């Protein structure tokens, strides 16, 4: 992969940040040594709504009282270098069948998973499905029905920057802790350790810390709009920027995880770069918008559709620019300003086997290219 580019899929590979993104998972609790993060649709999956949806905003006190019974503590044991290592994360009840939602990085490679409910009762859990590309996992407990208080999923696509939200979880192992803040930004790309990044991620200034991993991010109607998953930090602790996987992604991924134990992601198969002002000037473009294809992966959906990558390099002021590739301007009629727009559309609206129509600029003319999406190779 070209170091200046990113692979397009549900999640993309990118060197987009020099800061440390830290997962919100404590292992072990007393060490407070968070790990580096290791962390994609037909929006028609039915999500169980077993608690009422509220048409008006609630107070933080009301939100906590209604949500706390559905938030759980996730304790795990792992074998690392012949030693048993304990860790603590968070999760929430998804349905009355005992399914619990948490982060993939919380339970991955766990030898044992224990779910503890509000009243202190604990149950061993079975890992049902893990999807590392979106950092979502489902586990199941055979708990007393009276302990299962499913939380309602809201629609993260309705969120607005500045909107108030709340987070509940187990920061630093402190069970049932609540913090509040606002939505700081939407549609972020969160780097992962799989050569891809998670698109459409929610950014918040609510104080979330190691141990919050897998816990719910709630709107002021008490609906889950995200799963707290990472923070941007140089110390491993909260510094004002947290990230959550949107509920739209949860609604798409979780039913398939429960049914099949895995989720297969669609893939395009290109790398490239966003059009910035310098590149727009070199290419004599009016506006610095769009995504230029640098490399097309052999035998990928993009290759089969005839997309063209860059064929030469131009050096300007000591900086090399790959040029000559197709420039993607729109996807299914929606404007592409940068790669994020492609990835968000791919995650929200597309699945394997779907057709996606790209408007591209090639040799000074705009044309359409249709791509049939295939499964991402190697399951990554």
Tell me the two tokens of residue 154.
Answer: 């809201």
Give the three-state DSSP class for 68. Answer: helix
Task: Give me the active site residues, please.
Answer: 105, 135, 213
Exposed, middle or buried, 354 (CB in 10 Å: 0-12/13-18/19+)? middle
Question: In the structure, what pLDDT confidence band is assigned to residue 35 with cuts at 50, 70 and 90?
Answer: very low
Angle, CA 241 vertex, CA 240 and CA 246 arms, to 5°:
140
pLDDT at 55: 60
Give the three-state DSSP class for 217. Answer: strand
pLDDT in tens, 324-371: 999 999 999 999 999 999 999 999 999 999 999 999 999 999 999 999
The residue ranking higher by pLDDT, 4 or 249, is 249
Tell me the two tokens of residue 30.
Answer: 């007393």
Q: Is the pLDDT of residue 43 over 80?
A: no
pLDDT in tens, 258-285: 999 999 999 999 999 999 999 999 999 9
Task: Classify the phi-psi angles of 252: left when phi > 0, otherwise alpha if psi is within -120 to 50, otherwise beta.
Answer: alpha
Q: Report the CATH architecture of 21-260.
A: Beta Barrel (2.40)
Pair 95, 88: CB distance under 8 Å: no
State the pTM of this model: 0.82
Pair 201, 11: CB distance under 8 Å: no
Pair 202, 78: CB distance under 8 Å: no
pLDDT in tens, 91-149: 999 999 999 999 999 999 999 999 999 999 999 999 999 999 999 999 999 999 999 99
Q: Find where tokens 């044309």 sit.
A: 367
Give the residue extent of every domain in the chain. Answer: 21-260, 266-379
Looking at domain 266-379, does it have CATH number 2.30.42.10? yes
Q: Is the pLDDT of residue 22 over 90?
A: no
């Amino acid at each position: 992969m070209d170091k200046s580019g990113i692979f397009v899929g549900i999640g993309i590979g990118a060197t987009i940040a020099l800061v440390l993104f830290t997962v919100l998972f404590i292992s072990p609790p007393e060490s407070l040594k968070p790990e580096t993060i290791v962390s994609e649709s037909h929006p028609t999956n039915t999500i169980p709504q077993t608690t009422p949806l509220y048409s008006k905003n609630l107070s933080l006190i009301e939100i906590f009282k209604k949500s706390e019974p559905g938030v759980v503590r996730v304790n795990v044991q792992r074998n690392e270098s012949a030693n048993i290592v304990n860790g603590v994360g968070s999760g929430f009840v998804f349905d009355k069948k005992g399914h619990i939602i948490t982060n993939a990085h919380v339970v991955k490679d766990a030898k044992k998973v224990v779910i503890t409910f509000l009243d202190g009762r604990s149950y061993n859990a079975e890992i049902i499905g893990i999807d590392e590309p979106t950092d979502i996992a489902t586990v199941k407990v055979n708990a007393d029905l009276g302990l299962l208080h499913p939380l309602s999923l809201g629609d993260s696509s309705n969120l607005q920057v500045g909107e108030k939200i709340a987070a509940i979880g187990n920061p630093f192992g402190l069970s049932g802790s609540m913090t509040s803040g606002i939505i700081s930004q939407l549609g972020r790309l969160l780097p992962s350790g799989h050569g891809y990044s998670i698109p459409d991620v929610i950014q918040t200034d609510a104080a979330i810390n190691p141990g919050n991993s897998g816990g719910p991010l709630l709107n002021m109607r008490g609906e889950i709009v995200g799963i707290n998953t990472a923070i941007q930090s140089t110390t491993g602790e909260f510094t004002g920027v947290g990230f959550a996987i949107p509920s739209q992604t949860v609604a798409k991924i979780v039913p398939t995880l429960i049914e099949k134990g895995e989720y297969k992601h669609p893939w395009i198969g290109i790398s490239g770069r966003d059009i910035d002002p310098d590149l727009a000037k070199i290419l004599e473009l009016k506006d610095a918008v769009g995504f230029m294809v640098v490399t097309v992966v052999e035998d990928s959906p993009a290759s089969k559709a005839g997309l063209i990558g860059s064929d030469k390099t131009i050096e300007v002021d000591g900086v090399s620019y790959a040029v000559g590739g197709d420039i993607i301007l729109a996807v299914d009629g929606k404007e592409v300003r940068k790669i994020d727009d492609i990835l968000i559309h791919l995650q929200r609206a597309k699945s394997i086997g779907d057709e996606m129509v790209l408007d591209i600029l090639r040799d000074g003319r705009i044309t359409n290219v249709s791509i049939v999406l295939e499964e991402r190779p190697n399951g990554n």
